[in-house]
Structure 1
Amino acid sequence: MSQQKAFDLNLFRVFTAVYRTSSFSRAAEELDLTQSSVSNAISRLKSIVGEELFTRVGRGVKPTASAMTLYQQLAGAMSTIEQVATSFEAFDPTSSERTFYVYASESAIQLLQDQIEQVLQGTAINIVFREPPLIEEELQMDLQLEKVDLALDIWLPESAAFKSQKVMQDKLVCVARNAHPRIQGGLTQEQYFNEKHIIFKMRRYNLSVADLLTKQVLPARQMHSEQSSILSMMSVASKSDALAIASKAHTDEYAKLFGLQVFDLPFAVEPIEYFMVWSHKLQQNPANIWLRERLNLAIKLKGLAAEV
């Protein structure tokens, strides 16, 4: 009984952090501890449990079977405790000068930047957009370590460590320059595949946007060029006979500027769905709730709110 009373519950907090991050150093960063403190805590817990918890793998650690069992028992309770703890953090948007950081794709940044400035009027708060890392695991780790407050992306996490909400929906369309010699007023599937194409490549998925969202396997297309910037792609389309695929929201805003015709695609594609993703432990955090509300308001003002 005396041993139970003396047990340090912080050992469980350190353990779950190491388990999630697969690293003593990352866990130390998340918990604002030294790496030696994390190592000592895991050693103490190992002595109490009587089992090895982690093994070294490269520059990180891998949980043992005993650690997996322990984590399954602790994860829900620890997540609830973290939510309760962060819910008490004070946040007053009328006096705060905080800067929030949000991972977002280039397309989302271009669509929402003006609206973000609008919804922040009257506050001293900043929302800074950053393009996400190419490796999805790095994005997830940055969310867990709170290097960024939120992500806005087409990625939907499977891990229980994150919460998500579908917030924006758009569709893909095809563009061609106004003076295109063969395409005017409409676009058939035969015309589409007979032309050269400017491929917009999703950097993190290493796929074209059409291949990522199409409902069928597309025939091979003649490539004119490959772009990773939507505005660069539309600019190239305006100066060539090549076709390009873009989102309707972007063509509504930029097609006239670039002198482009806009057509529905002659094959079925899935809608573009954007999700807001944040760490589960920040679910009840007042500052994070406020940030999500501001982003949702900006999306609504842009007219891109997802259907509920």
Structure 2
Amino acid sequence: MHLSRVDLNLFVVFVAVYTEGSVTRAAQQLNLTQPAISHALKRLRDLFQDPLFIRQGQSMVSTPLARNLIEPVRQALRGLELSMQEHARFDPATANKQCHLALRDVLESTILPPLLHQLTQQAPHIQLQAIQVERRELVAELAAGTLDLAIDMLLPLSGEIRRQRILQDKTVILLRQGHPAIQGQISLEQYLQAEHILASSRRHGPGLEDLELSRLGLQRKIRLRCQHYYAACRVVSQTDLLLTMPEAYARIANEQFGHQMLHLPLAMPTWDVYLYWHQNVDQDPANLWLRELVINAVIPVTQPEAD
């Protein structure tokens, strides 16, 4: 007998009939009709190939098999009930679990510090694993529960994945203090005359700013293509190259370098960042709490520091 073929509601009826010793009283306890209880009993008898209860006068007397089954069934139902109650009253202050968050490395420095600040205050026993997952694997991992949440750009994912935009970031330019040609502001002509760094984890393909330039029939000069913005910031400090990047991460990375941070002289769409989760945890208390924590952690990221 495979459990997947068994209606667990039958065991609720079994316990009620055993406890009440009467189909009528079991029906009243469960707020069901007597025919519904009788039908459930027939299915149980067929399942176990045993009468389970025998009528004697006004009472239903249990068989030896029923007496052997009652305590294991009661314990199993009680354990399930307790698990559901624990799930419904998720308390981050006492919860002891590990959460898994997928995000790109550029977002780690932006989101993780404020997120961990809140996490340690609200949930001292919850651990967080921030990992990078191939985008083609996101749906499967979110569905399987090996990922609780993912943070990424707008992705064409299936309808079972829920999303919420959590960040809209502008584009800025970093260049070293004392740059020989540019100080304080930059024109589109100066931008095109300069040489640039393109930071991308991909081996080929244009950056977002290159796509916008190409729409205008323009092209910039890429001197260096590298994988990480931090490495690019270091290159900026020792060259006259320009680095175009999202503003939120630029503010963080630039704390160490003190580069000029200038507005891009080009109309650009914002860098939109989304929070993703699977529909099967849409109302899960733990996932709801974690989503709220992430959203609150992003709020200070979106607010520029005062000059």
Match of 2:215 in 1: 216
Quote the residue 2:129 is aligned against. Answer: 128
- Is the Cα contact below 8 Å between 2:98 and 2:126 reproduced in 1? yes
Q: Deviations over 1:109-145 (max 9, x none)?
A: 1012211121112421122211232xx2212222222
Aligned mates of 2:283, 2:85 — CA distance in 1: 5
Kept after mapping to 2: 8 A contact 1:165/1:275: yes
Specify the SS of the correspondent of 2:299: helix
Distance in 2 between the 1:87 and 1:189 partners?
Answer: 61
Query: Which residue matches 2:187?
Result: 188
Task: Give, as a single letter, the amino acid of the residue that structure 2 aligns with 1:102.
Answer: L
Question: In the superposition, relative to structure 1, how do residues 215 and 126 fare at CA in structure 2: closer, same or farther (>3 Å)?
Answer: farther
**Alpha-carbon contact 1:99-1:128 (below 8 Å) kept:** yes
Question: Could you tell me which residue of structure 1 aligns to residue 202 of structure 2?
Answer: 203
Q: Taking structure 1 as reference, are residues 145 and 116 closer, same or farther at Cα in structure 2, changes over 3 Å only? A: same
1:86 and 1:234 map into 2 onto residues whose CA distance is 50
1:5-57 alpha-carbon deviations (Å, 9 max, x no partner): xx9699xxxxxxxxxxxxxxxxxxxxxxxxxxxxxxxxxxxxxxxxxxxxxxx
Aligned-residue Cα RMSD (Å) equals: 2.9
Q: What is the TM-score when the length of structure 1 is the normalising length?
A: 0.65
Q: Which residue of 2 aligns with 1:111?
A: 110
One-letter code aligned to 1:128:
Q
3-state SS of 1:153 partner:
strand
Alpha-carbon deviations, 1:231-261, whole Å to 9, x = none? 1111111111111111111232332521311
Letter matched to residue 280 of structure 1: Q
CA distance in 2: counterparts of 1:245 and 1:87, whole angstroms: 51
SS in 2 for 1:262: strand
What secondary structure does 1:89 align onto? helix
Q: Could you tell me how far apart the structure 1 residues matched to 2:94 and 2:232 are?
A: 42
Closer, same or farther: CA 302–222 of 1 in aligned 2, 3 Å? closer
- Hey, what's the Cα distance between the residues in 1 that align with 2:158 and 2:84? 20
Answer yes or no: is the 8 Å Cα contact 1:89–1:286 preserved in 2: yes
SS of aligned partner of 2:235 = helix
Letter in 1 for 2:146: K
Quickly say closer, same or farther: Cα 1:284–1:157, change in 2 above 3 A: farther
Question: Which position in structure 1 is the counterpart of 2:12?
Answer: none
Q: Does 1:252 align with 2:255?
A: no
Gapped regions of structure 2 (runs ≥ 5): 8-82
Q: Residues 260-282 of structure 1, C-alpha deviation per residue, up to 9 Å, x if partnerless?
A: 11111111100111100011111
Distance 2:204 2:142 in 1: 19
3-state SS of paired residue (2:266): coil
Deviation at 1:213, TM superposition (A): 6.7
Contact 2:111/2:298 (8 A) holds in 1: yes
CA displacement at 1:286 relative to structure 2:
1.2
**Structure exhibiting the larger radius of gyration computed from Cα positions:** 2
Q: CA deviation at 1:214?
A: 6.7
Match of 2:53 in 1: none
Distance 2:117 2:262 in 1: 31
Quote how far apart the aligned CAs of 1:174 are.
Answer: 0.9
Q: What's the offset of the Cα at 1:218?
A: 5.9
Distance of aligned partners of 1:212 and 1:219 in 2 relative to their CA distance in 1, 3 Å threshold: closer
Cα distance in 2 for partners of 1:8, 1:274 equals 43
- Could you tell me how far apart the structure 2 residues matched to 1:267 and 1:185 are? 16
Output the CA distance in 2 between the equivalents of 1:296 and 1:242: 35
| Residue pair 1:152, 1:277 contacting (<8 A) in 2 also | yes
DSSP-derived class of the 2:93 partner: coil
Shift in CA distance, 212/165, structure 1 to aligned 2, threshold 3 Å: farther
TM-score, normalised by the number of residues in structure 2: 0.65
**Deviation (angstroms), 1:304:** 5.2
Across the two proteins, how many residue pairs are aligned to each other? 223
CA distance 1:109–1:205, change in 2 (3 Å): farther
2:210–2:219 contact (8 Å) kept in structure 1: no
> What CA distance in whole angstroms lies between the structure 1 residues aligned with 2:204 and 2:274?
16
Matches of 2:238 and 2:84, distance apart in 1: 53
- Percent identity of the aligned residues? 26
In the TM superposition, residue 155 of structure 1 has moved relative to its aligned partner by: 2.6
Shift of 1:217: 4.9
Matches within 5 A, 1:226-241: 226-241=225-240
